Structure 1
Amino acid sequence: ARRAYPDAHITVIVNTADDITLHGLRICPDLDTMMYTLGGARDPERGWGRAGETWRVKGELASYRIEPSWFGLGDLDLATHLVRTQMLEAGYPLSQVTEALCARWLADDPRLTMVPMSDDRVETHIVIVDGNEPSGRRAVHFQEYWVRLHAVPEALDVIWVGIDKASATPGLEDLIATADLILVAPSNPVVSIGPILGVSQLRSAVIQSAAPVVGFAGILGGAPVLGMAHRLLPAVGIDVAAGAVGMHYGARSKSGVLDTWVMDNADAHAVAAVEEAGLRAVVTDLLMHDPDATANFIQLAVESTHQ
């Protein structure tokens, strides 16, 4: 978005339902990945964490046989978690902690802001098949499902613990109300976008905003570009298809949250169904080969709102 519109004021609302406390530290994977990405410090090969990361602390914890061993904390990344945890324990809300952390990473772009969806604690838990349990199922934190279990067990349900009591981060409702444009990223619709829209104040703000709302499909040709959305979509009754995800978000004219749904050329066959559901459908090459390609499809989507 920044490459497409260099002078725009951009606010990134980030999911916090992936957050977890390990080794006494509050870890916010989505916030950190976004912060490092926007700050130019993300590891390009792994797609998360810091570039040039080392793992000496992880090795020492393993030598002490400290669990959980399945979630690795890099030495550079550890500093972020230490600062965050200290500030949270001192009474600062997550939004202020995030602002303080971003002062380092986003200092070169004063028009770019990153905000957690809520200051309240929300956690995504996955109900999985487990033959060792009398009920045949058990609930695990999303991080355990993804990192330790590699999304192998069948997911039966997805629960956002605490979502019913979560309030939008102060200021976000007004920001959405006065926005010129709202973009819904091609992230996992169940565990990344879902919790954000699960905060009732944010969902209502998006529905009521005067700004056009454009969503991008992260499913191309029946498969996710990244991640394991195909393992979780069926658990919440959604087909693994771009059109199905768009219709899950729904049109604002029919109590949904989108006006326009952008799909890949491989999913052009879904245009009729998407438009029948009340959405404007745009079809283009959605593979983000490089930053220029990403900028191009964002520009295409924005231009479509003026047609």
Structure 2
Amino acid sequence: MRITVIGGGVGCARFVLGLREYVSSEDSIDVVVNTADDWWVSGLRIAPDHDSLLYALAGVNDTVRGWGRSDETERVAGELHAWGTAPEWFTLGDLDLGTHIARTAWLRAGESVSDVYRRLGSRWDLGVTLHPATDTEIDTQVITDEGRIHFQEWWVKHRSQIPARGFEQLNIASAAPSEGAREAIENADVILLAPSNPVVSIGPVLAVPGMRDLLRGARAKIVGVSGIIDGSVVRGMADACLSAIGVETSARAVAEHYGARKAGGILDGWLVDETDAAAVDPLTALGIRTRAVPLWLRDPASSAQVARDAVALAR
């Protein structure tokens, strides 16, 4: 069985870890990763969603902070701040900087983002293949009353406290699905939307021209896992993002936002938490087969069970 996951960030990483725990040695996992929160800092290309997945799957992530490498030092970051080449509100660890330097060197040498993903992924036995959603730079800009700012500034520095009026990806009109993403979707037996931020992690992937057509034409069933439980976000500030696009912070509203594939959307199925069981019948009536199961990814066992439930619904 070939399983393709779409998402990015910590929520996606925890879900994929559970999926890896669940599948057999005969199965394969591909992850189509959001690249729209990537950006340039001190001349280096930073890719937070990809690196969260890479480090978690390699077992070298910082599980306390929830991002970056474990056993980090930050001496170089202090120097970058002193020289004024990096904002003080965005700190990178020394080991993490090694990844960014390698990535930037390969990109400067003319390699594609897909090439860089393969190089970085070859260092460890991940048990998963990561693909960028696109090889085009599509950094997300947040539209505010004061103007536009990069998503990372809005997210990290301002903690999403500045009201957002919308989100736009630069160069999105000229982007296309990467070859790896295309192949992973076309040849999947199961496609899963991770419990990632629907607006800034899943949304930019779906915004890549041609991506929705690929999903609607896929032979595999598409099942999403809600990152909203009992009206609250599990992690991060997805509620601020949903409010900016006029979507209620609820498992039902997010599923309606994605839409039923039979009605022009992308979902065949949707997993909600037991606390959101009231959404099952209304969503099923819309053509999205919905089940209520425990969704908290507390440990490897619970994460594997959520993965098992998602695959079972798809099959």
Verify same fold: TM over 0.5.
Answer: yes
Q: Which residue does the alignment assign to 2:307? A: 298
Partner of 1:253: 262
Partner of 2:68: 49
1:145 to 146, 154, 167: 154
2:271 to 253, 256, 262: 262
Q: Give how far 1:155 is off.
A: 1.3
Render the CA deviation track for 1:4-32: whole Å, top value 9, x for unaligned: 11321100111000000010001111111
Note if contact 2:192-2:310 (Cα within 8 Å) is conserved in structure 1: no
Deviations 1:249-305 (A, max 9, x none): 111101111100100111111222211221001101101111110111221222223
TM-score (norm 1): 0.93
> How many angstroms apart in 1 are the aligned matches of 2:184 and 2:62?
31
List gaps (5 residues or longer) in structure 2.
1-18
Name the residue aligned to 1:216. 225
SS in 1 for 2:40: strand
How far is the alpha carbon of 1:190 from its aligned partner? 0.3
Matched residue, 1:27: 46
Alignment-derived partner of residue 115 in structure 1: 131
RMSD: 1.3
TM-score (norm 2): 0.91
Query: How far off is 1:198 after superposition?
Result: 1.0
- Indicate whether 1:60 and 2:76 are aligned: no
Match of 2:141 among 125, 128, 131: 125
Q: Is the 8 A contact 2:226 2:270 kept in 1?
A: yes
TM alignment of 1:90-105, pairs within 5 A? 90-105=109-124
Counterpart Cα distance in 2 of 1:304 and 1:168: 26
Contact 2:294 2:306 in 1 (8 A): yes
Match of 1:236 in 2: 245
Alignment partner of 1:160 out of 169, 190, 202: 169
Would you say the 8 A contact 1:282–1:301 is kept in 2? no
Moved more, 203-212 or 16-25: 203-212
Counterpart CA distance in 2 for 1:138 and 1:251 is 35
- Secondary structure of the 1:104 match is coil
Does residue 272 (structure 1) correspond to residue 291 (structure 2)? The answer is no
Q: Aligned residues, how many?
A: 296
Could you say which residue in structure 2 is the equivalent of 1:201? 210
Distance change in 2, residues 1:100/1:219 (3 Å): same
Structure 1 residue 176: Cα displacement? 1.1
Aligned to 1:132: none
Q: Does the CA-based 8 Å contact 2:132-2:178 persist in structure 1? A: yes
Identify the structure with the greater helix proportion.
2
Contact in 1 for aligned 2:57/2:126 (Cα 8 Å): no
Structure 1 unmatched ranges of 5 or more? 130-136
Matching residue's letter, 2:135: D
Match of residue 288, structure 1, among 297, 300, 311: 297
The amino acid of 1:169's aligned partner reads S
Counterpart CA distance in 2 for 1:190 and 1:284 is: 23
Aligned counterpart in structure 1 of residue 200 of structure 2, from 191, 198, 219: 191
Which runs of at least 4 in structure 1 moved beyond 4 Å after TM superposition?
Answer: none
Work out the CA distance in 1 between the residues paired with 2:139 and 2:81.
Answer: 26
Larger Rg: 1
